[in-house]
Amino acid sequence: MRVLVAEDLYLLRDGMVRLIEAYGHEVVATAATGPETLDALLKWRPDVSVVDVRMPPDQSDEGLRAALAARAEVPGLPVLVLSQHVEQLYARELLADGAGGIGYFLKESVFDGDQFIDALERVAGGGTAMDPAVIAKLLAGGAATRRLGGLTEREHAVLALMAEGLSNQAIGQRLFLSDSAISKYTTSMFGKLGITDDEAGNRRVLAVLTYLNSS
Amino acid sequence: MQQVVSWVSGACVGFVRACAVTVVSMLVPAVWAAAVAWGIWWDAANPWSWVGPLVLVCVGTLALSRPVCRAVRHLVGKWTDTVVPAGYRQAAPVTQLSTGYWWNGHSYERTRRDALMDQRWRNRWKDPATWRDLRFTGIVPFTAGVVAAVVPAGVVVAVLGLGRPDLAPRLVGVLGLAVAVASAPYAWRPVEPVTARFLRPSPAMLLADRVGELTAQRADTTIAQAAEIKRIERDLHDGAQARLVGLGLSLATAEKLMETDPEQARALMREARAGATASLTELRELVRGINPPVLNERGLVDAVRTFAMDSPLETTVDADVRAPLDPPVESALYFGIAELATNAAKHAHATRARITLAQDDTGLVVEVEDDGRGGAEERPGGGLEGLRRRLAVFDGTVEITSPAGGPTRVRMMVPCASL
């Protein structure tokens, strides 16, 4: 994969480049400010980019805005956004165009190299990857608690992993369950919530997130 | 018909008000008249007979000026929308010192009673409001008092005149009645502008009050800031710092064990990673408590929206804020909203909340409303009092309506000049 890394702190940028290269991917460019990121995204059109939210010149949400602007220009351009904090608001903004190829993670997710690279590859493939922290916040909200009251604990866990963007197979591996058990849970869960299941992972995540978001 | 009824009721109300204004404003002149009568009754030609009346005039005027002003202020406040602040100087607390003496802010006294007495006299003498009251009691009888007195005077003339058998006094009586009836709805009204003009606190008094207020706020802010810094220091010391020490230890041990016991070294590395994640989570919470990142990145409205999404309440946010706000105001309002929403969930057991932010020419108004059980009240040292103090720094105000059984509605206002 050709990867772009946009991060203003040298140590983190360097570490990320080394991690990505250690997994056999190529880092084609790096950027350290918001405008640089936007230029690089549009110039290189990488298979996937890792973008920090807070960057110079204003130290506000330049990275996020650069990613959104680039995706407005090139729909579905795969971007994995990293931040010191995750917010539902930003997750919703990133997912709003419905084009897929979006990841949103806490910076410390790079501690687990395997999972991080797995998420990066999923995003590059047009999938969705959300940090468990975002999903936990989403599921703890007032409207979600009311709507999900009827789910069993297992169904709740499956829903959370599904919203993170995992496939049935991956969910099975995480929960130590067989594929058939997972599809049983998903069917009953979608039945209870009244949304139609769509096997294609990305649209399914969107369906779940849209359902949770609409209060 | 309806017009006639409303006019008659207006006239009756006006009559009562005119009589009230006459009585209140003529109280001090009545004392003066009594003193003069007393002097004449004794012996008008002998100067010594005027000593008593003179004392009566001085004491009576001094003693009556404050009650008269209070009464006028009360009546005007009750009848019209004009609110005239009293502006009397507040007495400082009287405290007993370790020596056993009492300190009233000005002098040491042997007993509490002496201290209070001394303080009262000093306050009376030095308070500019006392002199303003005296001036007002001199002015009001000859302005509002005279005008209001037309009505009762007309009635008196009518009663006296109509009681006589002759034609001329009767005509005068009818005239008096006509004047009384015609002027009844209007005669009390001059009291409002006169009060507003002469009884409001002078600029010097307003400034003195403002200085007192600001001094108190400055002290509050300093204390709050010190407490906040202390809290942050403690959190860092007990949390992140301690965890980083642990992390370093784990890594050092892992390095040592790398060759002899790689399996345990790996376990230690995993532990170190978990420790790093935990300290990051802690730091994130700490940062959120100091200044929520979204507030920094996007401003108040988006920060409130984010807060609403994360809240266990079903929260709707309506925002109409155009101009960018000052970061300190944003921060105060954000934490105010967070405090109120948390109260709604924790104390009022609400399930829904509604947050409205609106900006107009006068300032910013934020309303937080829940469907909880109400009964919220301000306690000393409580969250709502803290909220009021945080907003007072920007001349902001807080209004709380929370009847038992709910719902609770809190309105925070920050004037334009502070935005």
Number of residues written out for chain A: 215
* Min Cα separation B344/chain A (Å): 13
- Chain B contacts of A137, Cβ < 8 Å? 309-310
Q: What is the pLDDT of residue B326?
A: 87
pLDDT greater than 90 at residue A198: no
Those residues of chain B that have pLDDT short of 50 are: none
Q: What is the pLDDT of residue A199?
A: 56
* Pairwise CA distance, residues A144 & A94, whole Å: 20
Instruction: Name the more confident of A38 and B237.
Output: A38
Cβ of A60 within 8 Å of Cβ of B298? The answer is yes
Rounded to whole angstroms, what are the CA distances from B1 to A86, B6, B180, B186, B325?
71, 9, 22, 21, 56
Per-residue pLDDT tens digits for A67-91: 999 999 999 899 999 999 999 889 8
Nearest to A87 among B287, B294, B312 (CB): B294
Contacting A with CB below 8 Å, chain B residues are: 273, 276-277, 280, 284, 287-288, 293-294, 296-298, 302, 305-306, 309-316, 351-352
What count of other Cβ atoms lies within 10 Å of the Cβ of residue B186? 16
* Global pTM exceeds 0.90: no
Cβ of B277 within 8 Å of Cβ of A88? The answer is no
Q: What is the pLDDT of residue A207?
A: 67
The average pLDDT across A29-42 equals 94
What count of other Cβ atoms lies within 10 Å of the Cβ of residue B123? 19
Cβ of B311 within 8 Å of Cβ of A146? The answer is no
Q: Give, as one character, the DSSP assignment of residue A86.
A: -
Cβ of A88 within 8 Å of Cβ of B309? The answer is yes
Cβ of A142 within 8 Å of Cβ of B288? The answer is no
* Pairwise CA distance, residues B341 & B354, whole Å: 9
Residue B138, H or E segment = helix B128-139
Q: What is the pLDDT of residue B324?
A: 79
Q: What is the pLDDT of residue B162?
A: 85
Cβ-proximal residues to A205 (8 Å cutoff; 6+ apart), any chain: A127, A128, A130, A162, A163, A165
* Min Cα separation A181/chain B (Å): 31
Cβ of B296 within 8 Å of Cβ of A143? The answer is no
ipTM of the complex: 0.83
Cβ of B287 within 8 Å of Cβ of A215? The answer is no
Amino acid letter, B51: V
Cβ of B280 within 8 Å of Cβ of A88? The answer is no
Cα distance between the two ends of chain B: 53
Q: What is the pLDDT of residue A71?
A: 94
* Pairwise CA distance, residues B339 & B318, whole Å: 18
> A22-30 — which CB contacts under 8 Å span 24+ positions?
A22/A113, A23/A113, A23/A117, A25/A1, A25/A117, A25/A120, A26/A1, A26/A2, A27/A3, A28/A2, A28/A3, A28/A4, A29/A4, A29/A5, A30/A4, A30/A5, A30/A6
* Pairwise CA distance, residues B196 & B85, whole Å: 10
Contacting B with CB below 8 Å, chain A residues are: 53-54, 60-61, 84-85, 87-89, 106-108, 111-112, 137-138, 140-143, 145-146, 215
Taking CA–CA distances from A89, the nearest residue in chain B reads: B306
Per-residue pLDDT tens digits for B244-288: 898 988 999 999 998 899 999 999 998 898 888 889 988 998 888
Cβ-proximal residues to B265 (8 Å cutoff; 6+ apart), any chain: B253, B254, B255, B257, B258
